[in-house]
Amino acid sequence: MSRLAGIDVGGTKCLGVVIDDEGHLLQQTRLPTPYGGDALVATLAELAGQLEPYDSLGIGIPGLVTNEGILRAAPNIGGIADTPVGPRLRERLGHSVEVDNDGTCAAVAEWKLGAARGAKDIIMVTLGTGIGGGIIAGNRLQRGANGFAGEIGHMLVDPNGPDCPCGRRGCWERFASGSALGWLARRAASEGRLAGVVPPDGDIHEIRPETLTQAAREGNSSAVAVLDEFAKWVAVGLVNLTNILDPAMFVLGGGLAELGSLLHGPASRWFRELLYQPHLRPHPQLVIAELGERAGAYGAAILPTVHT
Amino acid sequence: MSRLAGIDVGGTKCLGVVIDDEGHLLQQTRLPTPYGGDALVATLAELAGQLEPYDSLGIGIPGLVTNEGILRAAPNIGGIADTPVGPRLRERLGHSVEVDNDGTCAAVAEWKLGAARGAKDIIMVTLGTGIGGGIIAGNRLQRGANGFAGEIGHMLVDPNGPDCPCGRRGCWERFASGSALGWLARRAASEGRLAGVVPPDGDIHEIRPETLTQAAREGNSSAVAVLDEFAKWVAVGLVNLTNILDPAMFVLGGGLAELGSLLHGPASRWFRELLYQPHLRPHPQLVIAELGERAGAYGAAILPTVHT
């Protein structure tokens, strides 16, 4: 039985795991995510040491990672620009190290060990603060020519839409992420469309996604209407991915996947409305990710086996 | 040397070719595209007879074609709904027949014999009356779970945008196809933004894409401005495909690809503006398709060799 080590770099902590070939957790350890590229490489080497002995090591990082394991950018980790994480760890540890985007790692984990076991054409969609993703097509992990495939959150769904911190306008994650849900709710409130959710003297700027989803769960119709608007935008991106890639399944991860039927029902309805030729084709399944917060580390651990 | 037969079904004619393994044209023949599914199968069988002897036969059709070769819909061919083209031809001819979407066939042709020879990650984009496409990722043809991958023209780039004949709103091909260029030009004229292109007593509804491109070639600045608007919309779709799939190359085909630098220059500039993290990554090459109107038939002929 192999010991597969994986590390998932997050905004605040790095989670290291060792799993066996069947995905059983053998070991787990954490360290805080430090500031800067040099410190990150040192932390990863230290975590790797704590996970020894292992047969292979993979690492997932939220950012643009080249096929050579160079981290070009990581907007949610401080002080990172153009850090050759893979090459430097390979030199330091004296063995091969696979590095890839965390969305790609989560996709691999759900494909091999989670909700999409046995499926050949799946797209992982992580609905969190932003939107990340990973693509399996024709039973193969798709990395793209440079390793940057799966940046689905920045597909443009309204080029004249709201500004995105990435510098462009109308990216999908401006409409369909956790922060987008808060934005849609605040917009609805400012237009007087959230009756019964925000008290008359309430501060609109304080409306959180949770405020809205709680009200929707309690049956507030104006909250349900905003969730429906949100579900439409979720569907827009899923429809585009389906028109382009025709997957058999979407695996929804991230905090918003926990909305369950509150999102699933309206998103499926909008999906049917917006898909090209919806009556002439099977629709992809919408399933919820199974591996939770460990998906990234598990996927990182499996990554070296996927590439052989 | 093999004799590979391919047939490309078009709106008005069916083009049959036989090529050798190196893509040399050995034979060519045509028949008018008939009305209705039964007649289409009969025409394809007749064309196949004219192309004999051959070692394999592939067919490209503009429509939704399942992995089993069933034509689910073909909006540009009269009287077609749910015709099992592949199964019926296999029964009639007594040998295997590969059937796929014409955009997929064109992609295969350019990948194996045309502008993208040697590339591993390419997306073919056919800018014609509508927008078709085909995807090669990781050196493999991507057909999707049901055979419908590559319907890139119906990705939604403005869900509140203009109506599309497909029944939805704001599909990419409403903004970036040949008919879209005419629409953008007529809209500009109706808003008084096409000075010097349309005579004061001219009928705005008569403005064709060619009117605009001719004026732009002659340096008319308002025509150039409309072409720039058009190029932005072309770039929006290319950017989305790049964020999702990270190709090394786009092969542009269809009538609008002939715009050359008139489109290439502004589309490349908009691409840089709209891509996620444009400064941190190589940009895909934008190249013009080489095989012209025979691309579909050539790709159909190669299709059976790609699937082995």
pLDDT > 70? residue A41: yes
Q: What is the pLDDT of residues A117-134, one digit of tens each?
A: 999 999 999 999 899 999
| A80 confidence band (pLDDT: 50, 70, 90) | confident
Q: Which of A145, A233, A244 sits opposite B155 (nearest CB)?
A: A244
Q: Which of A90, A64, A67, A66 is nearest to A77 (CA)?
A: A64
* Sole residue written with tokens 């059976």: B304
In chain A, the percentage of residues whose pLDDT exceeds 90 is: 86
> Do A158 and B154 lie within an 8 Å CB cutoff?
no
Q: What is the pLDDT of residues B168-221, one digit of tens each?
A: 999 999 999 999 999 999 999 999 898 888 777 778 888 889 889 999 999 999
CATH topology for the B118-289 domain: Nucleotidyltransferase; domain 5 (3.30.420)
Rounded to a whole number, what is the distance in Å from the CA of B29 to chain A's nearest CA?
Answer: 32
> Do A232 and B137 lie within an 8 Å CB cutoff?
no
User: Domain spans of chain A?
Assistant: 4-111+293-306, 118-289
Q: What is the pLDDT of residues A192-228, one digit of tens each?
A: 898 888 777 778 888 888 889 999 999 999 999 999 9
User: Do the bridges between strand B81-83 and strand A81-83 make them parallel or antiparallel, or are there none, so unpaired?
Assistant: unpaired
Q: What is the pLDDT of residue B307?
A: 65
Chain B residues whose CB is inside 8 A of the A138 CB are 140, 142-143
Q: What is the pLDDT of residue B123?
A: 98
Chain B residues whose CB is inside 8 A of the A152 CB are 243-244
| A307 confidence band (pLDDT: 50, 70, 90) | low
Are the C-beta atoms of B4 and B302 separated by less than 8 Å? yes
pTM as predicted: 0.96
Q: What is the pLDDT of residue A238?
A: 98
Domains A4-111+293-306 and A118-289 share a fold: yes
d(CA B151, CA B131): 8
List CB contacts of B19: < 8 A, sequence separation 6 or more.
Answer: B3, B4, B6, B25, B26, B298, B301, B302
Distance, CA of B95 to chain centre: 28
Q: Which of B238, B272, B75, B248 is nearest to B167 (CA)?
A: B75
User: ω into residue B32 within 30 of 0, thus cis?
Assistant: no
Q: Which amino acid, one-letter code, is at A118?
A: G
Q: Which CATH number fits domain B4-111+293-306: 3.40.50.800, 3.90.1150.10, 3.20.20.120, 3.30.420.40?
A: 3.30.420.40
d(CA B71, CA B93): 18
Spell out, as residue ranges, where chain B has pLDDT lower than 70.
307-308
Around Cβ A110, how many Cβ atoms within 10 Å? 29
Chain B residues whose CB is inside 8 A of the A166 CB are 276-277
Q: How much is the average pLDDT of A82-86?
A: 95
User: ω into residue A53 within 30 of 0, thus cis?
Assistant: yes
Q: How much is the average pLDDT of A82-111?
A: 97
